Amino acid sequence: MAGRQLAGGQGAIERHGVTGLYRALQGRYEQRRDAGTAVGSLRAIMLGVAGFGITAIHVAVIELGPVLGMAIHFHIARLSRQGLDIHRQYQD
């Protein structure tokens, strides 16, 4: 019965004996292994892409952090200068 189901209903044992059953089982195992390898490869690719994306975001934050910090610093300095100019105008 098992040989018949594995060989697509033709009966591996009736056609080739125990060797046919072994070959049928081996073929099924290889199909599953190949499918598992494909899924594993796809999973590895997806994790690699996600890892690269996270790394890119991390690098961007590290690189842009000082730039944004300096931009905020200069903006505050400019506002402070404007505030001092307005203060001086009212003192005169």
pLDDT digits (tens, 9 = 90+) for 45-67: 777 777 777 777 776 667 777 77
**Residue range(s) defining the domain that contains residue 9:** 2-91
Q: What is the pLDDT of residues 11-31, one digit of tens each?
A: 555 666 666 666 766 777 676
Q: What is the pLDDT of residues 77-88, one digit of tens each?
A: 888 888 777 777
Q: What is the pLDDT of residue 64?
A: 73
How many structural domains does the chain have? 1
Candidate ranges 6-10, 45-49, 66-70; pick with highest mean pLDDT: 66-70
Q: What is the pLDDT of residue 1?
A: 47
The yes-or-no verdict on residue 4 having pLDDT over 50 is no
Nearest to 47 by CA among 57, 55, 37, 58: 55
Cα–Cα distance for residue pair 37/31, rounded to 1 Å: 10
Cα–Cα distance for residue pair 38/44, rounded to 1 Å: 10
Nearest to 9 by CA among 20, 1, 18: 1
Note whether 6 and 21 are within 8 A (CB): yes
